[in-house]
Amino acid sequence: MTQKHSDRLNGETDISNSFKLLESQYFQGQEAIQFDAESQSGKLQWVRANRKSRMAFNKIDYFFEPSQMWEFPPDYAQSPETPFKISFVSNNTVRIQIESRKIVKRSEELSEMLAQEPGSDQTWTSEKSETGWIWHNECGSVELQCHPFRIVFRDSKGKLLTQTYHHEDKPSLNNTYPIPVSFVRSAADMSHRLAASFALSPGEKIYGGGESFTALNKRGQKLRLFTRDPLSAQTQDMYKPIPFLMSNRGYGMFVHSSAPMTFDIGQDYDAANVLYIDDDSLDLFFFFGEPKELLYSYTSLTGRSPLPPLWSFGLWMSRITYNSEEQVREVASRMREEKIPCDVIHIDTGWFEQDWRCDYRFAPSRFTDAKKMIDDLREDGYRVSLWQVPYFTPENPLFEELLEKGLVITDTEGNLPTEDAILDFSNPDAVKWYQDQIESLLEMGVAAIKADFGESAPVYGRYHSGKSGRFEHNLYPLRYNKTVADITKKVTGDHIIFARSAWAGSQRYPMHWGGDAENTDSAMHASLRAGLSIGLSGFTYWSHDIGGFVKKSPEALYRRWLPFGMLTSHSRVHGAPPKEPWAYSDHFVEQFKAATDMKYRLMPYIYTQAYLASQQGLPMMRAMLVEYPKDQNCWLVDDQYLLGSDLLVAPLFEEFNEREVYLPEGVWYDYQTNKRYTGGQRVVIEAAEIPIIVLARGGAVIPQAAPAASTELIDWEAITGMAYRAENQSDTLNYEEEEMNRSGMFYHPLDKEMTKVKSITVIE
């Protein structure tokens, strides 16, 4: 294994391995010197160290040991000094910047990951302390201790949130991990990689990190933030790693870099959260607050998801793959015949002359008049979505053109780094060429493009941007997402893509789905964890392959997965055929229709919650901890969620028609039966006709519509509300009027404003 990356093409990458090599030189941040309080900048002095073998009681360890410089000529510093800076972006956001070497070339352009240049906040006041400086405001305090170098974060009451971690803080005989801020200088190529260690408190829980399929609480895990196709929904690898974390202690952190990273969140050493970064610099944003505040602040920096078009919230019918006009027309007709609501027909890899060989042209042998097909479907209330990919095999008719025009990623010699021609989205000419292909499809009437793959940009490639694959690999999904979204918005006016890969900032280009899930109960649960985790990483919209992707969905699993899929922001049936309900039993067709009708009935609620979530940077499918951060039980739940703020959803992960559900304080009502439950406890609830538990929060008014064949046929002038009486709510004759005035509102998709429902039915 090399120092930085796997010995396999785009294999697993663990940056922490770089800090275990005996031949490399290590530097540990020891002392802040020359610090100027006015500019909030100074220099960090580094102490040299090596990994030294230590034998004790018949075992050998490799500890960090301070070492003397042994370099020639003797012009190099024994203890290098490099710049660092502390700045205040907002009233709850602090930026820490540390460099490990002189930066020769610094881009003046706005970072691809940021939506705007970070601001400057004047609410922080500073004071000199015995050991350094302290800044504080109503959100908390930041303390710089100069010797030894330490940064301490406290809340507004003075409670310690976290601090850079030292052995002096919690003494240990184990001296094998980097503290507090360290960098390694590679013996292979003299490159630098940084590590920053932060203290973890007893009972502390950490969340986020992207679309992670593993346990929701990341304490005790090691996250590899390197985009990779895991071919699964049950591994540590991620299609969408995001370098953002939040803690139940009231803080969050964002590492502003596109380099591969490894976050060791108390796995190697329980007391330390070590951020390993394949970068020469550390650019860390620290946020104070509870989950909603953290997400609001993080998305203020990196951007929020705009509200997608209404039709995108309807059912997307798909499989891998419809490969002829006849098949597409047949499934569209049958959906209407069965009276199953549906808004999108997705055509996956089979619309080209040869399956998977993307040339952006409908196969004339199987699609006799694609434009007319799209027009006819549109007249029947359908949109069409198309799969494509930015990789071109040698047999692809576009392969030579891309090479001749220099639009692809190369290796350092100017040749192809793999067998394929891979579009270089850092090249404006490549972006224009690609968008020209997509534009012709959108002008034909295609409504959305599935931006599949994007996880495998060559690490050792050469890019038009001038950056190496070290920084472009993780950026590739973000550039890809933006390229597709921009041309779609330009032609259709809609903020919509359907993407698999992502990086920090990709939430600006909704929406994304969860990849190739197995057809199992555990993969269904893992998909939920992934959706909750990406929601805790700044993404508002998310989907997944209902029923699983890899094989034919077992009917019993499909039946339970379907309502779960319908109660996420976006709902797509996709995977190995058959996916059409009539390919199963007659009873399943009825169940399929019932679950889909439920989503369309709830469309006014879903669209309203989507509008509000987009404003606030919140996920539509949100972990319980987002709405109930004071309830410690909610930080432990990863098998249920809230759809918006008022509906609690608990899928059935086993072939058993009841399950235990945790209910926060208050009263809750079964959406299917109106049965009332008291919160603050775990309750076993039996599912009704639709195999899922859905509970409405007491005090909420849920706007509803009569189900329609598509979202554009919903009667938005006849929206009614279901009002669920809160605990101890006064019983007045004007209850219905009071409730309607207070919260009986929905976001009208045509008027683009909040509107009162026509009438309210009270449930008590």
> Which helix or strand (DSSP H or E) is residue 723 part of?
strand 720-724
φ and ψ of 471, to 5 deg = -105, -20
Q: How many CB atoms lie within 10 A of CB 590?
A: 13
Q: How many CB atoms lie within 10 A of CB 411?
A: 14
**Catalytic (active-site) positions:** 452, 455, 516
* Selection from 202, 197, 289 nearest residue 251 by Cα: 289
Residue reference for tokens 């009825």: 590
- DSSP E strands in 157-258: the ranges are 160-163, 181-185, 192-199, 206-210, 221-225, 241-247, 251-255
Q: Please, which residues bridge with residue 503 across strands?
A: none
Residue 117 to residue 39: CA distance in whole angstroms: 18
Residue 508 to residue 302: CA distance in whole angstroms: 8
CB 295 within 8 A of CB 322: no
Secondary structure percentages of the chain, helix, strand, coil, to 5: 25, 30, 45
Residue 687 to residue 658: CA distance in whole angstroms: 6
Enumerate residues 6+ apart whose C-beta is below 8 A from 66. Answer: 47, 48, 49
- DSSP sequence for 59-110: EEEEEEEE-----SSTTS-SS-EEEEEEEEEETTEEEEEEESS--S----SP
φ and ψ of 398, to 5 deg = -90, -5
- According to the 3-state scheme, what is the secondary structure of 478-523? HHHHHHHHHHHHHHHCCCCCEECCCCCCHHHCCCEECCCCCCCHHH
CB 595 within 8 A of CB 568: no
* Selection from 660, 649, 454 nearest residue 567 by Cα: 649
CB 573 within 8 A of CB 318: yes
φ and ψ of 606, to 5 deg = -60, -45
CB 138 within 8 A of CB 125: no
Determine how β-strand 181-185 pairs with β-strand 160-163. unpaired
Single-letter code of the amino acid located at 623: A
Enumerate residues 6+ apart whose C-beta is below 8 A from 17. Answer: 1, 3
Q: How many CB atoms lie within 10 A of CB 688?
A: 15
